[in-house]
Amino acid sequence: MELINIEKYRSLKKILKKHCNLLTEMDRDKIDKQILKAYVYDKSLTCIEIKLTDYENVLHLIKDLDKFFFVIHAPYVANPEYYGFKGDIFITRFRNVYNITKLLIDKNLEDNNGELSGGFVDKFADLFGFLFGYTPKEIA
């Protein structure tokens, strides 16, 4: 069974270049590396922070990432289609990681009128620490 398709990997790199304007210059290389690590199974979950941008651009990014990952988007502001999107996009290649992360995010969005609450990841620091690839000693 082939876990990493080289052609898809190259295609993903092209997609990241296409959407580089959604990230700040300082974060771009770091984020690209984190996304590629998620694709090659070096990370079980990656979080991409998106600066304020047009919601349509974010939807295009999500559609492109859907070809490679399970994708969850979590806006910091309700009604991103009206105000623009600023928030996090979580990606994983593991269905159960996706299901748990989506469950926690959906509950948080429901409790906070469609906005991801500040410190959301901190509330589940142990779980997200493991999913983001930290060792138990690093989390403790």
pLDDT digits (tens, 9 = 90+) for 37-69: 999 998 899 988 887 788 888 899 999 999 999
**Where are the domains positioned within the chain?**
6-133
Asked if residues 37 and 46 have their Cβ atoms less than 8 Å apart, the reply is yes
pTM: 0.85
Report the C-alpha gap between 49 and 9 in whole angstroms: 21
Residue 137 pLDDT exceeds 80: yes
